[in-house]
Structure 1
């Protein structure tokens, strides 16, 4: 029997690429409904055109749907609402505001209120087989030490409003595990595709390359701080393949998965790897972290370097994300998180060829 999919968050990167992954892996598709904001209709049509150019994607099975997850019945037109609630088997909740510097009211409305409305809506779906909620590993906030997949509740605070609102949203989803067939996905910090280096935007860890590119003519490249914290970078293709697989296997129901690197490098190691691979220089000397924090308070410098001040916190918080459940349930699938050292050359090459037109704001999955 073919599946009927509904995605929130189209035409975003996640929705678009998970659609491609579902077709690529050969899952039986009856129809895929792609919910987009009315204001994003033109972008949605453009993304649909891009998908039509992918050989294995059957665009005849794709339907654009105007909606707004923050509204009752997800803002869907009445007849469409009836169709979707009657037919959906797999719901991917991807819509969210991912920017680390987003104000709290906006972030709360989309990430928390939107999730509350999605939860309510799904309770009236008669054929639902799986609800895939896309969270983040960083619902752990300022917690340090080992973070386990079954853990969520804490009172240690958060590094930004994005983390806080995703935490509150995941709490809402977690409460529905007894009533809905839920799979929660918690990715680490996204980096480019492991074989090609391709990425939609140069944010997150790319600030290191942005900075090295600006200072490559300097005779001395310094470290900033001791960099003892492990930084969890994951290639986009690993997140997409693992999410698609775990969304369709029976054992994924009721689980929460860390899609993080089981053997991450420290911030200092990553910085050294990037510097040596990109500008062929080994960093020397260590400057205190507060100097970078102080400098990044200046908007012109943030723009020039291509980094938000909020991103620094991810290189100082000493958290490690346990992936026991993920590795156990991915066993036999052929899906593993590759070592950063192996795919770094592809990341560097893609950056070098596209750096002029892709410097954007910092965000994480």
Structure 2
């Protein structure tokens, strides 16, 4: 049962909005998706069901897939305190890249009759996916989810998870919908005719990759739906580990800032493309989940027809620089040694591509070959050249973001948080100004050791 704090009678709580309602979520098996689901179940105890779209796997039954999904420390507090609530998760076999999401007619009818809230989080996370593939998943997949929502009888709010980097052509990004990066008809024509790499490069027109390009178009697909149902676009920036709940430091992948920061701190990467003074827009995963859930409740309660865009970002009110992030990860690497690399944390910044290439060869590639030669001579398996290949991929994928710096306005996020009741502010913290970066990155580094490297 949802209990409202004394003095909050005039403000319906977030949990009260979700009481008795069912949520349909795509991308639920991903990093953010897991945090969304755990938070919904734990902090909205009277929620009815969480329907989760999931691709079928040969050789695994639905129950086996469920056990696999829940076999994560993230769900421990639910298992310990309210394990029966985990039965509210209902797996929906389907595929975001298939027309109609690949959902059976029987299951579709259940969704049409019961779902009140959609959280559309599914997307390809490969930054440089070929455009036809990225378009099929990020744009056409979104179109399929929107089409399904239009037929839902109880739908109250549609929440789309985008990215803060859909508008990298602007140094200051407001919480508004900007024009798409290209003519959508031209994109469709090129995709139909057989798009080439040259076509893709021309369409991107300075955008860093197909991920940000297609996510920009997906925002417009979602915006077309606002006349029928309250619609929200949430744009997270670089999502880091969990800050507070359910587990400080929890994360389950090396994507985003994690891989580059750890590689650099431990001496596997020695060259950073950009300036140390560039702003890194980090945001904890639980702050994204808290914002999504609270924004959904607020919009659903107000029944507003306005498209609301929330930049879930820190750069406009609580900045941290690239140099500071690397220094804090380096401090942890020195205090908690985990590799045999010499001089961990020794690295240089440059804004010249030719110099980056030279420094990478001198400081990373040549030492890697020398180290592997030594390992072979001492009858050990070589490892450093292969590791350098992974470092190079990470450098290439992220150098646009380390080279540039943006200010992502988050005024609407902060206004939303300020409007919450005192009780909900404790349960759903999402104001980026409250992040203590020293404490957060310390927990972040602990999370890397515990959850990615499996070290105590």
After superposing the two structures, state which structure 1 stretch, 318-327 or 8-17, moved more: 8-17
1:339 matched to 2:403? The reply is: no
After superposing the two structures, state which structure 1 stretch, 241-250 or 123-132, moved more: 241-250
Equivalents in 1 of 2:303, 2:449: separation in Å?
Answer: 39
Structure 1 residues 286 and 75: alpha-carbon distance in aligned structure 2, compared to 1, 3 A threshold: closer
Question: Does structure 2 conserve the Cα–Cα contact (< 8 Å) formed by 1:210 and 1:306?
Answer: no
Structure 1 residues 11 and 287: alpha-carbon distance in aligned structure 2, compared to 1, 3 A threshold: closer
Corresponding residue number in structure 2 for 1:147: 173
Q: Which SS does the other structure have where 1:127 is aligned?
A: coil
Corresponding residue number in structure 2 for 1:159: 208
Corresponding residue number in structure 2 for 1:265: 320
Shift of 1:251: 5.0
Equivalents in 2 of 1:106, 1:204: separation in Å?
Answer: 21
Question: Does structure 2 conserve the Cα–Cα contact (< 8 Å) formed by 1:5 and 1:31?
Answer: yes
Q: Could you say which structure has the higher helix fraction?
A: 2
After superposing the two structures, state which structure 1 stretch, 103-112 or 144-153, moved more: 144-153
Q: Which SS does the other structure have where 1:29 is aligned?
A: coil
Equivalents in 1 of 2:115, 2:357: separation in Å?
Answer: 47
RMSD (Å) for aligned C-alpha atoms: 3.0
The structure with the larger Rg is 2
Shift of 1:92: 1.1
Question: Does structure 2 conserve the Cα–Cα contact (< 8 Å) formed by 1:69 and 1:114?
Answer: yes
Corresponding residue number in structure 1 for 2:308: 255
Q: Give runs of aligned pairs for residues 1-365 of structure 1, distance below 5 A.
A: 2-39=20-57, 43-48=65-70, 50=72, 51=75, 53=79, 55-56=81-82, 58-141=85-168, 143-153=169-179, 155=181, 157-195=206-244, 196-206=248-258, 207-214=260-267, 224-249=273-298, 250-251=301-302, 254-261=307-314, 262-279=317-334, 286-290=349-353, 291-292=355-356, 295=360, 300=386, 301-304=388-391, 307-331=394-418, 332=420, 333-334=424-425, 335=429, 336-337=431-432, 338-353=435-450, 356=453
Q: Which SS does the other structure have where 2:81 is aligned?
A: coil
Q: Could you say which structure has the higher strand fraction?
A: 1
- The gaps in structure 1 that reach 5 residues or longer are 359-365
Equivalents in 1 of 2:345, 2:41: separation in Å?
Answer: 44
Shift of 1:27: 4.7
Q: Which SS does the other structure have where 1:38 is aligned?
A: coil
Across the two proteins, how many residue pairs are aligned to each other?
353
Q: Which SS does the other structure have where 2:310 is aligned?
A: strand
What's the TM-score, normalizing by structure 1?
0.86
Question: Does structure 1 conserve the Cα–Cα contact (< 8 Å) formed by 2:273 and 2:402?
Answer: no
Equivalents in 2 of 1:18, 1:2: separation in Å?
Answer: 18
Q: Which SS does the other structure have where 2:82 is aligned?
A: coil
Equivalents in 2 of 1:66, 1:282: separation in Å?
Answer: 45
- The gaps in structure 2 that reach 5 residues or longer are 1-18, 182-204, 336-343, 366-384
Question: Does structure 2 conserve the Cα–Cα contact (< 8 Å) formed by 1:191 and 1:236?
Answer: yes
Shift of 1:271: 2.4
